[in-house]
Amino acid sequence: MDWFWWVLIIFWTGGFAWAAENVRTALRNRHERKLQLLEAAKQERLAIEAAHKPPEPVCGCTHHLAKHDKQGQCHERVEVPTAWDENKRPLRYEAGRCNCQQYVGPQPLSHVFAEDLTDLA
């Protein structure tokens, strides 16, 4: 057989495997890059949504602003421990009122209703 055929056979077998491997790697890389892009886009969208959304008006006592009256006192019902074991772990609870005296969470933005400007002239 001519030497040319040997070169061709070696190129076919080795070359094909090499090319296939390269294509596989390239495809995998592209797939990973696409996933990363998707993930980045998702993070960005979540960040934008979070920035536009006002913070939850939740007080330091973990209760919602709506549970506080105008004076700031919290009216949420809570479980107050009435008995403890020797390790200071509460054994019994009694229904009580939250001790919070003032709402300290973020204030929700007041929704101002603006009427359409009417042309008085």
How many chain residues are in contact with Zn ion, going by CB under 5 A?
A: 7
- Least Å distance, CB 65 to Zn ion, is 8
Alpha-carbon distance 65 to 116, whole Å? 31
Distance of closest approach, residue 91 Cβ to Zn ion, in angstroms: 23
Q: Cα–Cα distances in Å, from 113 out to 63, 110, 116, 117, 119?
A: 28, 9, 10, 12, 18
Q: Report the residue from 58, 65, 76, 80 that binds Zn ion according to the rule CB under 5 A.
A: 76
Residue 96: strand pairing partners:
78
Stretch that binds Zn ion, among 16-24, 48-56, 61-69, 108-116 (CB under 5 A): 61-69
> Is residue 59 at the binding interface for Zn ion, with CB under 5 A as the rule?
yes
User: Hey, what amino acid is at 65?
Assistant: L
100: contact with Zn ion by CB under 5 A: yes
Question: Which DSSP string do the residues of 69-92 spell out, in sequence order?
Answer: -TTS-B--EEEEEEEE-TTS-EEE
Q: How far is the CB of 106 from Zn ion (least distance, A)?
A: 12
**Binding site residues, Zn ion, CB under 5 A:** 59, 61, 63, 74, 76, 98, 100
